[in-house]
Structure 1
Amino acid sequence: MARPIVLSNGELHVGINKYALVHDFYYPYVGLENHAAGRSLRHHVGIWADGTISWLDDDTWEFDYSYPHQALIGHIVARNHTLGIILEFDDTVDAEMSVFMRNVHIINMRETVRDLRLFFHQAFVIGDSRSNTDTAQYLPDADAILHYRGRRAFIVSAQDDNHAVFDQYSIGLFDIEGREGTFRDADDGELSMCPVEHGRVDSTIRFKLDLQPHSSLRVHYWIACGSSTREALYIHRQVAKQGINARLDRTNKWWHEWLKPAKATAEKIDAAHRDMFIKSVMLVKSHIDKRGAVIASTDTAMLNYWRDAYGYCWPRDGAYALWPLIRMGYKDEAYRFFEFCRRGLSSGGYLMHKYRADGALGSSWHPYVHEHGVVAPPIQEDETALTLFVFSQYYHLHEDENLLKEFYEPMILPMANFLASYIDTRTGLPKPTYDLWEETFITSTYTTAVVYAALQAAADLAEKRDDADSVVAWRAAADDIRLAAVKHLYNADVGVFRKGLIVNEADEVVYNETIDLSSFFGSFMFGLFAVDSDEVSQSAKTIQRVFGLDQAHPGVPRYQNDNYRRAHAETPGNLWFVTSLWMAQYYLETSLPDEAMNVLNWVRDSAWATGVMTEQLDPLTHREVSIAPLTWSQAEYLSTLLDTIPEAVV
């Protein structure tokens, strides 16, 4: 299930699902410690009217979603024509304090006076713990409900425009001992007023509202977060004192200030893409933890069918996400990311598969022992190479010598030395590691291209540091890779770049002839082959023919017969925004702007109204597949639009 609205301040991150309900609640890291991951943890919102209760996820409501303020403030309109009720939500995470806020506008569409009861339900499994030892209790002195466990505390409260607080509450158990949750206590419009419970606990609060015909009222709801009850209570009292409207205004101003570089850039692109450009910038920012991690996606929907979700920092995804921000002049986010990578760098000079937001290693299915007993680190070498390459872009944009003082010896030097030394002498190419799709242990064309570019970039940085020995070593290594790539990585008979190769036990080179979009993209984007070379030009033609690309069908899969979440065996795989946008970038590089804009328009039209993009689309139904938003999809859209600006910084 997509998250059409995501909200974040780099510490508290909230995902709102298609029913306008809180469905992900991360604190104190973006992407780590999701306290509301799972179907039973949806934070229900309901209206009791005319003797019956209606919850927003009971399929009787219609929803519209938007980010109308050029700020990460979501606007949701929920309509129930049967009840004659409209609910309007203005939602945000405060830019300066870790508090989630909902300004709810309740509208009576009937010509009669209405006795309405508005219910807010909260369910947490604090720390994503599988033990049942959370506590919830009513705090009469604070007019609030406290949920806590260990070093995590959440204060729930609400008041109307007249500062009147909720009039009833209920605290109880859910998803245990046959209990569905305290939201069921609201079915009759009344709550039981239970003041405390421990175990797997949830809570519900109520507002009783008398609405005149065709009139409306507002209720202001919030969840304040802290590493202690004292901290959470302090934030709660600030919100209660200042009011949600004031906090919304401050958050709106914060985003308008932060977005200035993006807005200046947006003025240079096609007007039809400016709104979604700004939304994509905000969505990328929303997935960046303030301590440097860039999270691939905070949508936990895939936990319903997979072992894990995307709530990790892949260095590759992080580098791609930050590249367009760097090009627009943003500095702090990239700097913290490079600090994050420097801290996570292994003693061997390479980055691991993925990391948690706190810097710890993330889960992995990559072994140290590979086919035929080959022992090698469980990595994707392109992640190290791309991070180094993007750091070089960052440095050359700012020309800040302090960057080299901080990063050259502890990060650039070990990374580049690893890349230059991790060469298979039998092929002259990088040794096998996992490809960027995390599936195949191979010397891939894509990884080869990024390693080549990274070594060239590192040599340029070494010149700045007067490190002559490294300049010679790294450029020589890059040159050797280039020569070996010409020999091995292009299939002239088919007219396309190979996915890669492996050397078997008999020292024979075995080629993987799969047509992979990453091989094509990497070859021209990172300069392994000139964009106007016969190899690149012919590969583009082969890809267009094999995948049937035309104006009506501009989307492409990752590679031939991609089985990841593949819905239809008769198709080559689901359509990916990332790879489709790579084709658009090729069109721009070869002066085919109309073809590029056709891809961009298809991507824009396939996204949610809020700008949220999924990872994949079903090629037949065009329905979203997998998680949404995917940070990389948003970022690749930005990078492609930046390429349409003639004077854009590369």
Structure 2
Amino acid sequence: MINEQKWQQHLRKKPYLVDAIAGNSAMLVSLGQSGRLYRLWWPHIDYPQHADEIRTGLKLGSAPGGVTWFDDPDAGWKHDADYVARTNAYRVSSSHQEFPVTVEQTDFAVPGQPLMVRGYRLTNNGHEAKDLEFYHYGSFHIMDNELFMTTEFQSEHDALLHFRHQYAFAVGSSEVCSGFQAGHGSWHGASNGYLNGNQIDMKPDGAMKWTFSAIAPGQSVEIPVYIAAGHSRGEALAALSLAKSRSYSEWYAEMESYWKTYLTSAAPCPGGNEAIVALYERSLLAIKLMADEATGTIVAAPEFDEYYSRCGGYAYSWGRDAAFVTTAFNKAGLGSLSEKFYDWSITAQEADGSWQQRHFHDGRLAPHWGLQIDEGSSLIWGMWEYYLHSGEQEAFLERMWPAVEKGAKFLIQYIDPETGLPLPSKDLWEEREAEHTYSAAAVHGGLTAAASFAKRKGKDELAVQWNQAARRIADSIEERCWNEEKSSYYRGLKLTVSKETYDHAVSQGATGFVEQRDKGYERFVLDFDPVVDISLLGISVPFNVVPVDSLRMVRTADKIEQLLTSPNVGGIKRYENDPYIGGNPWILTTLWLSHFRTLQGRYEDARQLLDYAVKHVTSSGLLPEQVDQHTGETAWVVPLTWSHAMFVLAVHMLAERGQL
């Protein structure tokens, strides 16, 4: 375990909450409202991460004191930050009450290039000419490793080069620097406004400065700082040379054109509500950054908890999340991203036909808690949804069929003969083992989709077999999973609990059993899990096991709204007494209920739930995972890809019914 002192130091450099992301789907960075760059991933958006600490600041001529860093909370800088409209460029305007200088910083990655651009405009707002020194300090923990780095100043390229193993990063500008320091003491030297010119060191950090003399009142100077990546020192330096060969304005125009073309290629946001349109476009822009350029992998969020201090990490690809995201891509006219993802997904399938919980961009299994049966079934369901969206492309069917067939056969053999539901696995929140009702609904969806694929392939016998299996699951849900006492479906059957929980529950009248496991261990099982959970909506939306207007589903949805609405700030929690990060309402759960209300025809209620998401965007217009239940402020993950996907889907569901 990381010690407390080291952990606090880590959080100072890399807090849980970030304000923005920027990138090009191959390079990804997370940023703060002060413009501080917290993390940098390349050449994939999930792994590896390379930034330790990257900071910029100013020294004002002969003024006493050293460098004032823009992101220092005690330095007196005030920041106004937001995305540049219709792009993934993040712009921060900084001012200081005591200094007559304003700083405009714009961060973006160049599409198709291993290049992060950080453009700075320094303006003298005073009444006298000013001398300025601009400082850039960079510490790279390449591959998230603090060991074995080298930093050197490359005179020929006027750049600092950081490298380790197969990765290198060259930092420089089209403006010639006036000082540098590689390695030991760089932070101390930069903070004090004195760089000693050390050329090379086996350390991760270094600093550079640029001097601007006699900036007249009202005058601005511009300096682009480029972070160029490569798989070797030569590649990184070549990328930096290319960056310097064109002006900052050219790179900016190329980036701006790319994102506007991307949005133009998507289906426009239905309706004319300005706030909804803004969030819809920001959702499409954010989701694109979460889809890896090389592989098509869709990750849940940019990583923010590398040490799993409060969760199990988010920069992985979950089949379930991705199935919702690709359905949003389909609705938004971005089906090519869905197709690319599903081509990737078959590389992550296990030999037995299963898909495990979550994966890296290369299809390798990521750290996980065990099988979630809803993951693979969601993928098969999502494949079918894309196939229909694509106009039933034969080539896609042929590529997917072997994986679909193996996947469906795995699902068929994973049915509990006693209950008719899928055998115990982890639930979609990855917190408990049981035969979950949501998981059963997902398997129903996967098998129904597989049967539809089989019919297209002329495999009528398989189609009948898989449809019958899906029907048996639906029957079992209706026969075994209704909890009349709570007017809701059970969350699951055969819930694994601790011995203490089991003994207490049985003493209170609950029923269950003890099962022998390997090596003499015991599994303590309660027959029913009665907790009301938002995922129960999945029985109808999206997996259509029972219609939304069935009495049981109506009662379940109403019970969800009654029990899970957060009393202080509104929004819908995941489930009763949710302990995760204090039990806040989530954006995606609130939108899930919006989906259900839309399909019910309760459009006003659905719209109110949609508006909740609009009202709880971050300051930069992104959707978080959660909203603080006491303050209504952003809580936990920013941005969550699933949140943005559910918003896009909610918009289209209302619009298709003329209700937006």
* TM-score normalized by the length of structure 1: 0.90
Counterparts of 1:516 and 1:308, CA distance in 2 = 21
Whether the aligned pair in 1 keeps the contact of 2:569 and 2:632 (CA below 8 Å) is: no
Aligned residue among 298, 312, 324 for 1:320:
324
Distance in 2 of aligned mates of 1:221 and 1:383: 42
Pairwise CA distance, 1:301: 4.6
Distance in 1 separating the partners of 2:605 and 2:268: 22
In the alignment, which residue of structure 2 is the partner of 1:271? 274
1:408 paired with 2:401, answer: yes
Q: Deviations over 1:200-229 (max 9, x none)?
A: x20111111232123211111101111112
Contact 2:137/2:190 (<8 A) preserved: no
Which amino acid is the alignment partner of residue 632 of structure 2?
Answer: H
Q: Which amino acid in 1 is paired with 2:395?
A: N
The residue aligned with 2:506 is none
1:14 to partner: Cα distance: 1.2
From 79, 82, 102, give the equivalent of 1:66. 82
Encode CA deviations 1:415-467: one digit per residue, 9 max, x unaligned: 11112221101011111110000011111111111111221111111111001
1:536 maps onto 2:553 in alignment: yes
Q: 2:33 aligns with which of 13, 18, 27?
A: 18
SS at match of 1:610: coil
CA distance 1:307–1:523, change in 2 (3 Å): closer
Q: In the alignment, which residue of structure 2 is the partner of 1:375?
A: none
Pair 1:393 & 2:403 matched? no
1:269–1:644 CA contact under 8 A, matched in 2: no
Q: Which residue in the other structure is 1:281 paired with?
A: 284
Shift of 1:556: 1.2
Give the stretch that moved more between structures: 295-304 or 463-472: 295-304
SS at match of 2:113: coil
RMSD, matched Cα? 2.0
Q: Is the 8 A contact 2:513 2:526 kept in 1?
A: no
Q: Which residue in the other structure is 1:259 paired with? A: 263
Is 1:431–2:388 an aligned residue pair?
no
Deviations 1:369-413 (A, max 9, x none): xxxxxxxxx21111111111011010011111001111102x110
CA offset at residue 647 of structure 1? 6.6
Q: Which residue of 2 aligns with 1:612?
A: 622
Structural mapping, 1:462-473, within 5 Å? 462-473=454-465
Partner residue of 1:35?
A: 50
Partner of 1:47: 58
Number of equivalent positions: 610
SS at match of 1:538: helix
C-alpha displacement at 1:331, in angstroms? 3.0
Structure 2 matches for 1:9-408, cutoff 5 A?
9-36=24-51, 41-49=52-60, 50-52=63-65, 53-59=67-73, 60-130=76-146, 132-159=147-174, 164-173=175-184, 182-199=186-203, 201-210=204-213, 211-262=215-266, 264-268=267-271, 270-290=273-293, 291-301=295-305, 303=307, 305-306=309-310, 308-364=312-368, 366=369, 378-398=370-390, 399-408=392-401
Secondary structure of the 2:624 match is coil
Structure 2: tracts of 5 or more residues without a match: 1-15, 496-511, 516-524
Matched AA of 1:490: W
Deviation, structure 1 residue 276: 1.3
Q: 1:588 aligns with which of 592, 595, 598?
A: 598
1:78–1:88 contact (8 Å) kept in structure 2: yes
Helix, strand or coil at the partner of 1:525 = coil
C-alpha separation between the residues in 2 aligned to 1:304 and 1:462?
41
Whether contact under 8 Å (2:566, 2:585) holds in the other structure is no
How far residue 155 of structure 1 moved from its aligned partner, in angstroms, is: 0.8
Query: Structure 1 residue aligned with 2:642, among 621, 632, 635?
Result: 632
Structure 1 stretch displaced more, 309-318 or 264-273: 264-273
CA drift of 1:107 comes to 1.6
Q: CA deviation at 1:5?
A: 2.1
Deviation at 1:304, TM superposition (A): 7.8
CA contact under 8 A between 2:624 and 2:637: conserved in structure 1?
yes
**CA distance in 2 between partners of 1:438 and 1:506 (Å):** 22
Report the CA distance shift for 1:88/1:320 in structure 2 as closer, same or farther (over 3 A). same
- Comparing 325-334 with 412-421, greater Cα deviation is found at 325-334
How far residue 305 of structure 1 moved from its aligned partner, in angstroms, is 3.2
* CA displacement 1:139-160 (0-9 Å, x = unmatched): 111111111111111111013x
Summarize the alignment of residues 449-460 of structure 1 with structure 2, pairs less than 5 Å apart: 449-460=441-452
1:604-632 CA distances to partner (integer Å, 9 max, x unpaired)? Answer: 22112322222112211223222211111
Query: In the TM superposition, what is the alpha-carbon distance from 1:308 to its structure 2 partner?
Result: 4.8
Equivalent-residue separation in structure 2 for 1:618 and 1:307 (angstroms): 17
The whole-number CA distance in structure 2 between the counterparts of 1:190 and 1:214 is 28
* Secondary structure at 1:79 match in 2: strand
Structure 2 residue identity aligned to 1:544: E
Among the aligned pairs, what percent are the same residue?
Answer: 23
Q: Note if contact 2:561-2:572 (Cα within 8 Å) is conserved in structure 1.
A: no
Counterparts of 1:615 and 1:634, CA distance in 2: 9
SS in 1 for 2:68: strand
Alpha-carbon distance in structure 2 between the residues aligned to 1:21 and 1:500? 45
**Gaps in structure 1 of 5+ consecutive residues:** 174-180, 367-377, 567-572
Equivalent in the alignment of 1:645: 655
Name 1:373's counterpart in structure 2.
Answer: none
SS in 2 for 1:575: coil
1:5 matched to 2:20? The reply is: yes
2:611 counterpart of 1:601: yes
CA distance in 2, matches of 1:64, 1:642: 32
Query: Are the equivalent residues in 1 in contact too, given 2:142–2:164 (CA < 8 A)?
Result: yes
Question: Partners of 1:227 and 1:302 in 2: how far apart?
Answer: 23
* Code of the aligned partner of 2:624: T
Aligned partners of 1:441, 1:414: CA distance in 2, in Å? 24
Instruction: Give the one of 428, 431, 436 matched to 1:444.
Output: 436
Amino acid at match of 1:325: F
Q: Which residue of 2 aligns with 1:514?
A: 531
* Match among 470, 475, 482 for residue 474 of structure 2: 482
Structure 2 partner of 1:370? none
SS at match of 1:391: helix
CA distance in 1, matches of 2:620, 2:188: 32
Check conservation: 1:529, 1:535, Cα contact below 8 A.
no
Distance, in Å, in 2 between the alignment partners of 1:308 and 1:385 is 22
CA separation in 1, counterparts of 2:72 and 2:431?
39
Q: Tell me the amino acid that sits aligned with residue 226 of structure 1.
A: G
Name the CA distance, whole Å, in 1 between partners of 2:28 and 2:238.
19
State the shift of 1:336 in Å.
Answer: 2.3
Paired with 1:449 and 1:193, the residues of 2 have a C-alpha distance of 64
In structure 2, distance between residues paired with 1:243 and 1:380: 50
* C-alpha contact (below 8 Å) 1:8/1:287 kept by paired residues: no
Structure 2 counterpart of 1:511, one-letter code: F
- Please report how far the alpha carbon of residue 245 of structure 1 lies from its aligned counterpart in structure 2 after TM superposition: 1.5
Code of the aligned partner of 1:112: E
Q: What SS does structure 2 have at the residue aligned with 1:611?
A: coil
Query: How far apart are the structure 2 equivalents of 1:578 and 1:65?
Result: 25
Contact 1:445/1:519 (8 A) holds in 2: yes
Task: Find the aligned partners of 1:78 and 1:622 in 2 and give their Cα distance.
Answer: 26
Give, in angstroms, the shift of residue 23 of structure 1.
Answer: 0.6
